[in-house]
Amino acid sequence: MSNLDTMSVNAIRVLSADAIQKANSGHPGLPLGAAPIAYELWAHHMNHNPANPQWENRDRFILSGGHGSMLLYSLLHLFGYGDLSKEDIMNFRQMGSLTPGHPEYRHTVGVEATTGPLGAGMGMAVGMAMAESHLAAVFNKDEYPVVDHYTYVLGGDGCMMEGISSEAFSLAGTLGLSKLIVFYDSNRISIEGSTDIAFTENVQMRMEAFGFQTITVEDGNDLEAIGRAIEEAKADTERPSFITVKTQIGYGCPAKQGKASAHGEPLGAENVLALKENLGWPSQEPFYVPEEVYENYRNLADEKAETEAAWNVMFAAYCEEYPEMEELWNQYHDTKAAESLWDDETFWAQSEKPDATRNLSGKALNYMKDKLPNLFGGSADLAPSNKTNMSGAGDFSKETPEGRNLHFGVRELAMTAIGNGIMLHGGLRAYVATFFVFSDYVKPMARLSALMGVPLTFVLTHDSIGVGEDGPTHEPIEQLAMLRAMSNFHVFRPCDAVETAAAWYSAVTSEKTPTALVLTRQNLVPMAGSSRDALKGGYVIDDCEGMADVILMASGSEVELAVKAKAVLESQGTKVRVVSMPCMDLFEEQTEEYKESVLPKAVRKRVAIEALSDFGWGRYVGLDGAYVTMKGFGASGPAAQLFEHFGFTVDHVVATVKGL
C-alpha cells in the first residue's frame, strides 16, 4: 500500500471524525473501521463517474449501515460528487444541510438509497441486482453488454442480525445474483457491547447455506487483500458473494478503538487530536486534507469518467446496429409512458357483471403489461390469490432472468425492500403484493418508499372482514388507517372496475409517491356513477336534488351499501348524497373549493361507512356525524354473515342516519 493510498484512506477517517465532533453527534466507529474497504472499492474496482452520477451502467453502492453516513459523505466529497463541499461536510447533521444524519436519496447527489433502518440496504441491494440481471437479459447482445454492472452493499453486525437480511439473501442465493457483492464489516461490536451477548452464530455458514460464495479478509486495513477479495467475488459468475472483512471499530483512536463507545458518540476533542497523531496526519487543523490527496481523488475520478466514455461509444454503436432495441430502451426509461393509458377506453371500461376488485386489478395489470413492457413484479407467494401474475410474461429466475413475474416467497418485509431497490435502479416499474393484513410486515419498507419518493405499487388484497372463514388473524381492520397515516403515500380502496383502473393509472403514472391498491376478495357490483373523478380521491358518485340532508361516505365494498341505503332513505323523504372516497390522500391534495363542492360544510349530518377501523374518518364526519365501521377485530365465518353481524346492512345504515 502506497503512502498516498494510506493518506487517502485516512482522509476519510479524519473528515468523518472532525464532522462528527463538530456536530457533537454521530457515529464515528464505522467510518474509522471501514474506510479501507470503501476506498479500495471506490478507487480501484467500482465503475462510477462523479461527473455523471446517473450514468445508467454505473455500479451501485449502498451503505446499509446508514448510521455510518460520514463514510459515504467523505467519499462523495473527495471524489467530487455534486459539488459536495467541505462546508457541507462541516454542516453534518445540521438543519437543511446536504449531509443529514443518515443518507437520504434525492437529497444528496450520489446517495443511491435512503438507509438507517438496519438491514434495509441489504434488501434494496438485492432488488438492484435483480433489476440489473433482468435488464441485461432483455437488452444485451453479443459484443454489446450495455447492462453490465455490480451492486455493492456494506453493512455490519446489526444489519446481519436483522431478519430482513436473511429474507433477502435467501432469495438472492436462490436467484444466483452473481453481480451482488456484500461487504460484512465484522467488528464484533454493537451498541450494548460485544456481539457475543446476542449474536454468536457462524454468519459465513449461514451465507453459504443461502448459496453465496463466502470470502474472508483477516485484516481490514490490508487494501491488497480487500482488492483480491473483490476480484475473487467478481470471478464467480454463478453465485452472489459475501466478503467478511474483519475490522476494528473506531480504528486509529487509541482510547476508543475496539470499544462500544466508538459506535454512536463523538470521539471527544482530545481523542480526535490523538487519532490524527496516531495516524500520522500532517495537521491538527479541523477538516484539513492535503492537496496531494485531493489530487489523487481527482485523478481517480477522471479515470472513472473514461470508463463511462467507453460505454457511451459502445452504446452508440449498439443503437445504430439495433435501432429497435434503442426504441425499447427509451420506452423502458420513459417515466411518462403510462400516461398513454388516459386515452385508452378499453382500459377504463366498466365491468359488465359483479366482480372482485382483485380480479379487476388482475385484468388491468394484464392489459397494461403489453403497453408497459417494463412492468416487473410479483407476490409474496400469493400471486394466484392476489391476481398479480402477468400471463405469458415468464418467471424471473436464475435460468430465465428475462421473465417479468417475480416470486418473492413468504418474505413480505424483504419483498418491499427489494421492490424499492428495483425502482431505485431505474428502467423498471415494479409492483409487490400480499394480503392486506400482512401490510403489517410491509410497512417499514413502505415507509422508506414514501421517504425516498419511490413510486412503488403495492397490491394488497383480501381487504376486510370479507375474508370470511379465515378469521380475525387474516381480516385487516386497522391497517388502512396505518397506511393512510403515512405522508407521501396514496392508499386506494376502489369500489369497481373504473375506480380500480383509476388506482392503477395513478400508481403507474406517479413519479414520487408510492401507491397501495386495497382490493376485495368478494364480488362488487359495478356502480353507475363511478368515474375517473376517482383520481381526485373523493367525488360524488350518487347525488340528490338540491342540498342534501345527509352525506354518506364510503370506500370499496361499502359504496354499494351506501347507495342502497340512500334509496331507502330517499323513499322516506331524506335527501342523500353518496360520496365515494377511494383515496383520502388524493382528496386532501385537492383545492379547498373542490373539497367543499363534494363535502359542503353546510351539511353536518354525515356517516362514514367502511368495514375497517373508523380512525381517520373524523375529519370528514365532524361532531354531528356517525360511523358504520368496525369497533374491534373480526371473526371466522361466511363473509355475508360477518357483514350482517357487524352491522354492514342497509337497515343499520338507515338507523344510524335516523339517529343523527
Q: Are 313 and 57 in contact (CB under 8 A)?
A: no
Is 407 flagged in the annotation as binding? Answer: no
d(CA 121, CA 287): 29
Instruction: Dig out the grid coordinates for 56 from the structure.
Output: 445508467
Q: Which residue reads 358518485 in cell numbers?
A: 541
Is 45 flagged in the annotation as binding? Answer: no
d(CA 419, CA 443): 13
Is 646 flagged in the annotation as binding? Answer: no
Is 199 flagged in the annotation as binding? Answer: no
d(CA 426, CA 335): 10
Q: Is 285 a catalytic residue?
A: no
Instruction: Dig out the grid coordinates for 9 from the structure.
Output: 484512506
Instruction: Dig out the grid coordinates for 524 from the structure.
Output: 362488487
- Catalytic option among 112, 412, 475, 558: 412
Report the alpha-carbon angle 470-474-477, nearest 5: 125
Is 358 flagged in the annotation as binding? Answer: yes
Helix, coil or strand: residue 608: strand
Instruction: Dig out the grid coordinates for 333 from the structure.
Output: 426509461
Is 480 flagged in the annotation as binding? Answer: no
Is 187 flagged in the annotation as binding? Answer: yes
**Full 3-state SS string of 189-244:** EECCEEHHHCCCCCHHHHHHHHCCEEEEECCCCCHHHHHHHHHHHHHCCCCCEEEE
Is 436 flagged in the annotation as binding? Answer: no
Count of beta carbons in the 10 Å neighbourhood of residue 418: 33
What is the DSSP code (8-state) at residue 366? H
Q: Measure Cα distances from 205 to 201, 243, 265 in Å.
A: 9, 12, 33
Is 58 flagged in the annotation as binding? Answer: no
Q: Are 543 and 533 in contact (CB under 8 A)?
A: no
Is 102 flagged in the annotation as binding? Answer: no
Q: Are 66 and 102 in contact (CB under 8 A)?
A: yes
Is 12 flagged in the annotation as binding? Answer: no
Is 618 flagged in the annotation as binding? Answer: no
What is the DSSP code (8-state) at residue 58? P
Pairing of strands 355-356, 523-524: antiparallel
Is 163 flagged in the annotation as binding? Answer: no
> Which residue numbers belong to the known binding site for substrate?
27, 263, 358, 385, 462, 470, 474, 521
> Which residue numbers belong to the known binding site for Mg(2+)?
157, 187, 189
List residues with catalytic annotation.
Answer: 412
> Which residue numbers belong to the known binding site?
27, 67, 116-118, 157-158, 187, 189, 263, 358, 385, 438, 462, 470, 474, 521
> Which residue numbers belong to the known binding site for thiamine diphosphate?
67, 116-118, 158, 187, 263, 438
